[in-house]
Amino acid sequence: MPTHLIRAGETPALIAERYGVPERWLYQANNYYGTDYARPGRRIYIPDYEYDYYDYPRQWGRNRYRDGMRYEIITGRKHFRPSKEIPVIFSYCNLSDRPRTLRYDDARLYDIVTSRGGREIWRWSDGYNYDRGSQTMLLQPGECRTYQADWDLRDRHGAYVKHGPYTLRAYDRSQELRTHYVDTDVEVLDPEVEQNVFISTNSTPCPNTNILLNAGLEQWVDRTTPRAWSALNLQNTSQANSGNYAAELGSKPLNQAVLSQLVRAEPDRTYRVVFGAMENVNNGNNGNFDLEAAVYVFDQQSRQIGRVDPVYTPDQLPDNDYREYSFNTGALPAGTHSMELRFTFRPRSGNRSRVRIDDVELTCVN
């Protein structure tokens, strides 16, 4: 994609007119919306198509800007089957108006790290031998570099990781850029979920039957991993709405928590979500958090093709007592193959509370 160096007196409207593209394309391609967007000396992308982060299908990944550089990591999709490799593409571009000198301690130019819950479990450069001599490279204005690596879903000891969410982080290893990184989230599927979503040829039933696995959260691989669910920063609790167990989000109350499951779905059908939730108040302290329930829609290639809007956010949760909540998805878009029901616990400053989820239902309405 070509770039343009903004000069004094130029506005986004003038730049768009010069290149014959709508002004909104510039904002979308460069992910800038603040007053600093058109600062002279900034180098921006000139797109040849409408680049909208929420265009679908989405190429799964993430980008970020820092100090005149644009960093991007792409995995292609979010969900991956067990024992398969995850391809990772990492790139960065110099969007400034000056060359960047990059100094490396050895021949390792970049690295990619996998973590779960903040704990590193795999590093791409482990096990490789590199020349130890230092080297210097020059990155010219508008110049980009791209690297590719694969994660085989094993930890640093060679064992396959368990199902659930993981974070992939990539960065350049030069002295100048090594603290600048870009990351994205991926999910390794539970084998049973993989069977239901990608291998089984049965259509999703539309009668009023719950299509979630382990919907009552009664079965757990270990204390932090419910069977068939993807989980982050949660644990089981015996304080359930029914049965023996529920999921308590926010084991670390100041960290985000996620509980999600991928299921088979079909286009033009409407689904209903029902769940029980409560706030677990810690020593009488009021909580400071948001709880979101969202449905994300994917095609057969695991590319995100939509999200049910609006994201459902329950009202004030009752203290230490379950309440039932529900919402409908509306008709899912053409090309739908699967959908992910995701509960996200987002704490704010000073939060001490946790949230409990139990008795989740996902049924087809029509």
Task: Quote the radius of gyration of the chain (alpha carbons, Å).
Answer: 23
Contact 112, 124 (CB under 8 A): yes
Q: What are the pLDDT digits (tens) for 36-80?
A: 567 788 778 777 654 443 343 456 888 888 888 989 999 988 899
* Amino acid at site 221: V
The CATH number that domain 1-50 falls under is: 3.10.350.10
Homologous superfamily of 191-364: Galactose-binding domain-like (2.60.120.260)
Instruction: Report the CATH architecture of 56-188.
Output: Sandwich (2.60)
Q: What are phi and psi of 199, to 5 degrees?
A: -105, -45
Q: Where are the domains of the chain?
A: 1-50, 56-188, 191-364
Is residue 90 classed exposed, middle or buried when 0-12, 13-18 and 19+ CB atoms within 10 A define those classes? Answer: buried
Give just the sign of the alpha carbon dihedral 119, 122, 128, 134.
negative
The confidence score (pLDDT) of residue 37 equals: 60
Contact 247, 217 (CB under 8 A): yes
What number is the average pLDDT over the span 82-100? 90
Quote the tokens at residue 232.
């982050």
Kindly indicate the confidence band of residue 227, based on its pLDDT and cuts at 50, 70 and 90. very high
Q: What are the pLDDT digits (tens) for 243-288?
A: 999 999 999 999 999 999 999 999 999 999 999 999 998 776 778 8
Residue 221 CA neighbour count, 13 Å, CB half: 15
The confidence score (pLDDT) of residue 51 equals: 45
